[in-house]
Structure 1
Amino acid sequence: MPLLQYEPEGIVRIGDDRFYVSAGEYTAPTTSYGNGTVINGTDRMPGAGFAHIIVFDGNGTRIADATLTQEGAIEYHNGGIDYDGKYIWATIAQYRPNSTATLVKIDPLTINVTTILHIADHQGGAIHDVDTGNVYMLNWGSRNVSSWNLNYVTAEYPAFTRPRSITRNPSYYTDYQDCKFLGHPAVYDYRGVGLCSGVTSIYGTQIGGIAIVDLKTMVPLAEVPITMVSDLGVLVTENPVDVAIVDGRLRVYFMPDQHNSTVYVYEPVAASPFEFGGGFE
């Protein structure tokens, strides 16, 4: 799936033959202020770019490419996305830590964007709990998860809406890139849980990982390391992930590469990778 100069950030599969990809087009890099300088909480200039939602069919043919932001917008980085059966939930943020972001919902039929609320921090992922109305978002490096509830009145944009809670991510194993809401399964005592994937760097080596997490606490309920790489040598968990049950089997979709991207589809061998250490094929 060619993405031109874009970087894929999130992916959802809707129906049998449509993939929606959030992607960033970067026209000017973010550069450090230098000498340890911090201005308004952040250490780098804003850079420039555009947020996109791109639609592909199952053969990789591009059906649509919608630009979600205007030229000169300081918030242009869209992160991981989630689909609740009606809307795609996404954040459009400044491409630097300790900055700002906007939560939006996107109609996949029209790509119409509705602004929900404004956030006084960078947010790189959005997870919508359809049962409670909670929306969870991950900040830079997924070090914190913040929650809002859609049943409460939000501040009028561009004023900021304070989160109902901010929870420190207790796991330093993986910086999550993209997450998906999994429901309130009985096996986890009906807690709201999500599947998250990402990468981490340790001792000069990058390792990928997938985790099922408790959305309120971010405690991993099950997690596995992932060492598989794309044909271009990128860890498959580096960017978007989606998950589905197809014909009774777990299926995971990855889209790791920038510029010229491929969707990698994996199913577990024999057992789920979250049970008995089973692997992927």
Structure 2
Amino acid sequence: MRYLLFATLLLSHLLIQAQTLVDKIKKLRYDTEWQQVAAIPLQFSTYHPQGMVKIGEFFYMSSVEIIKRPGNGEPGEGVGHLFKMDSTGKLLAQITLGEGTMYHPGGIDYDGKHIWVPVAEYRPNSQAIIYKIDPHMMQSNEVFRFKEHIGGIIHNTDANTLFGVSWGSRNFYQWKLNTKGQTINTNASPEDLRIINPSFYIDYQDCHYLGKDMVLCSGLQRYSNNNQTIRLGGFDLISLKDYRPIHQTPIRLWSPTGLPMTSNPFWVESIAEKIRAYFVPEDDKASTLFIYDAILKP
């Protein structure tokens, strides 16, 4: 009885936290003030970072090491990585993920027990392996394979489903899980599971489940005119009940080289009356963990 009461109280606390963060995200505006808290250089070869989660004081980041770039109909060669690092940017552990031509990890998610990571070919309309990883043991387990490039995945723990995004996030996919955590509709074709993303202003790079059928995605889009290109980043808060964004916010933050902060991995959490955001927009030697606080207006 005591353990049931503790579990109930813990679940209630997590739901309140999730709702608080969702409510704060809805207060973000185009002119929200972001204050930089820190800029921490990462002390290892990060290659091309993709997704990130924060578990306690540790960060877990997926990345693709490109050995041979894809092109001319060839899938290229590479290695998928999942890194564990501390708050100083020091590498603590790493594992490799993928198989053959599937070496490109995407956006990742943490469900309170496992980190979910998709690893796909580095090209659209291809194939992917979905893994779940024990973050403490840094051990991976393959969950299923799918005949489509999956560039990001989240675990909807309320509906017990997985939600994936395609290359460029133009399409969504959803898979049902049974009580053992096994997918029950992975044999369905991409065409049968495909849900068209109705939003076009950014392509999603990384997504995280916030609870109550809400997912937050970050990303960017390139806009060109007269040989000039502008890169704009942003957040989309999406309802998984109808797969539509309910709050969209441009994030007017750029790295020293001009990349939007939302170019690659991100993480957000609720801090006092603020939102704290973590970004790693740059590759390899330039990779820096930027930390910002959003100052929210009533």
TM-score, with normalisation over the residues of structure 2? 0.79
User: Residue 6 in 1 paired to residue 32 in 2?
Assistant: no
- Tell me, yes or no, if the aligned pair for 1:118 and 1:160 is still in contact at 8 Å: no
Which residue does 2:76 correspond to in 1? Answer: 47
Question: Of Structure 1 and Structure 2, which has the larger fraction of its residues in strand?
Answer: 2
**1:266 matched to 2:292:** yes
Give the drift of 1:172: 0.7
Query: Could you tell me which amino acid in structure 1 is paired with residue 248 of structure 2?
Result: E
8 Å CA contact 1:2, 1:259 repeated in 2: no
2:22 alignment partner in structure 1? none
TM-superposed deviation, 1:165: 3.3
Q: Is the aligned partner of 1:21 residue 2:61? A: yes
Structure 1 segment 68-107 matched on structure 2, within 5 A: 68-69=97-98, 73-107=100-134
- Residue 270 of structure 1 and its aligned partner are, at CA, apart by 3.3
1:201 to 210, 222, 230: 222
Question: Matched residue of 2:168: which SS?
Answer: helix
Amino acid at match of 1:257: E
Q: Note if contact 2:58-2:86 (Cα within 8 Å) is conserved in structure 1.
A: yes
Offset from partner CA, 1:230-280 (integer Å, 9 cap, x none): 123211000011111123532111111001311111111133xxxx7xxxx
SS in 1 for 2:163: strand
Rounded to whole Å, the distance in 2 between the matches of 1:216 and 1:209 is: 22
Aligned length: 249
Structure 2: how far apart are the matches of 1:248 and 1:168? 35
Residue of structure 1 in register with 2:141 after alignment:
114
Deviation (angstroms), 1:3: 4.4
Q: 1:128 to 1:5 in 2, by over 3 A?
A: closer
Counterpart contact for 2:274–2:295, Cα < 8 Å: no
Q: Which of 137, 148, 167 matches 2:175?
A: 148
CA distance in structure 1 between the partners assigned to 2:128 and 2:241 by the alignment: 21
CA deviation string 1:184-228 (max 9, x = no partner): 1xxxxxxx1111000001223211111101124331111111231
CA distance in 1, matches of 2:103, 2:86: 25
Instruction: Name the CA distance, whole Å, in 1 between partners of 2:289 and 2:282.
Output: 9
Q: Secondary structure at the match of 1:141?
A: helix
Give the letter aligned to residue 6 of structure 1.
Y
- Checking the alignment, whether the CA contact within 8 Å between 1:167 and 1:216 is kept in structure 2 is no
1:225 lines up with 2:250 in the alignment: yes
Q: Distance in 2 between matches of 1:200 and 1:91?
A: 22
Q: Which residue of 2 aligns with 1:39?
A: none
Per-residue deviation, residues 113-143 of structure 1 (Å, max 9, x unmatched): 1111111100000010111111000001000
CA distance, structure 1, for counterparts of residue 239 and residue 195 of structure 2: 11
1:2 deviates by: 3.8
Post-superposition offset of 1:108: 0.2
Equivalent-residue separation in structure 1 for 2:193 and 2:50 (angstroms): 25
Measure, in 1, the Cα distance between the counterparts of 2:189 and 2:159: 18
| Between structures 1 and 2, the one with greater helix share | 2
Shift of 1:161: 4.9
TM-score by length of 1: 0.83
**What residue in structure 1 maps to residue 197 of structure 2?**
169
Tell me the amino acid that sits aligned with residue 196 of structure 1: C
Where structure 1 has 5 or more consecutive residues not aligned to the other structure, the ranges are: 34-43, 185-191, 277-281
Offset at 1:5? Answer: 5.8
Report the residue type matching 2:194 in the other structure: I
Counterpart Cα distance in 2 of 1:268 and 1:231: 19
**Which residue number in structure 1 is paired with residue 282 of structure 2?**
257
